Amino acid sequence: MQCLFLIVLMMNTTHAQNLKQVAYKDGSQKLNGLVTDNTTKKSPGVLILPAWKGADNEARQAAIDLAKEGYIAFVADIYGEGNNPKDNAEAAKVAGKYKSDYIAYQKRIDLALKELIKAGADPSKIAVIGYCFGGTGALEAARAQLPIMGVVSIHGGLAKDLARKNIPLKTKILIEHPAEDESVKFEDISNLVIEMNDGKTDWQMITYANSKHTFTNPESPDYNKVMADRAWQHTLLFLKEVLK
């Protein structure tokens, strides 16, 4: 009986650890998202925007961990089937395309958001988190004024074309920034602060000491476990607040 109990317990604790592929489209472009398997009841949802190489292990693990917290999580496919970059050079090129064509980026985020809701997420309780290129996307989700309660930009690109006007930003924003991120200039941060304040935004930035760009990714040489763990707890605290 004790053995049977342990087996059942293990099955229950691992149930929400599977990700299911979801096929959707942007016109003729096929997209393949990933959703957690806890979609039987309407729960708060979190859209995950992956880094510049697509749905990597960090994004997948975040989805699994969020499911354990009771959220339905969906990993977006921004590039589309057949377009995932093979190396950093390709990633820089394709990510740069969407950073420049932010309207296309916002559209892909919105399409993924709709799939998250189709999967069973409560449309009144949705947040977006993103890593690196996806962190830029999280800010774009706020700028697009999508129907979301909050966004978390995790070591995201913070620069915005200065030709774009600052607009009201209604969603709450958390920026998790590594102090030694060489890809973010001081003026990028200054301009972002101006944008947040111009937008009358409920925002905050947390800066993590002794941390380089991809400090939250265990597969990166930049990984800083202490700071990564803190950042994750800050993310969970933020999500608990905005999706309560």
Domain ranges across the chain: 31-243
Amino acid present at 84: N
**Which letter, b or e, does each residue of 71-103 get, where b requires 16 or more Cβ atoms within 10 Å of its Cβ?**
bbbbbbbbbbeeebbeeeeebeebbeebbeebe
Can you give the pLDDT at residue 13?
39
Can you give the pLDDT at residue 17?
62
E strand segments, 52-145: 72-75, 121-131
Which residues of the chain carry a pLDDT beneath 70? 1-17
Residue pair 210/240 in contact by the 8 Å Cβ criterion: no
Integer Cα distance of 230 and 83 in angstroms: 33
Integer Cα distance of 101 and 174 in angstroms: 23
Cα dihedral sign, 210-216-218-222: negative
Can you give the pLDDT at residue 125?
97
Can you give the pLDDT at residue 39?
77
How many Cα atoms sit within 13 Å of 140 on the Cβ side?
A: 28
Integer Cα distance of 208 and 73 in angstroms: 25
Which residue matches tokens 């959220």? 71
Pick the CATH number of 31-243 from 3.40.50.12170, 3.30.1360.20, 3.40.50.1820, 3.40.50.2000: 3.40.50.1820
Can you give the pLDDT at residue 148?
98
Can you give the pLDDT at residue 10?
37
Residue pair 116/128 in contact by the 8 Å Cβ criterion: no
Contacts of 236-240 with CB under 8 Å at 24 or more apart are 236/69, 238/127, 238/150, 238/152, 238/172, 238/174, 239/44, 239/46, 239/66, 239/69, 239/71, 239/127, 239/129, 239/150, 239/152
Can you give the pLDDT at residue 18?
86
Integer Cα distance of 205 and 185 in angstroms: 15
Beta bridge pairs of residue 35: 20, 74
- Residue 222: strand, helix, or coil: coil
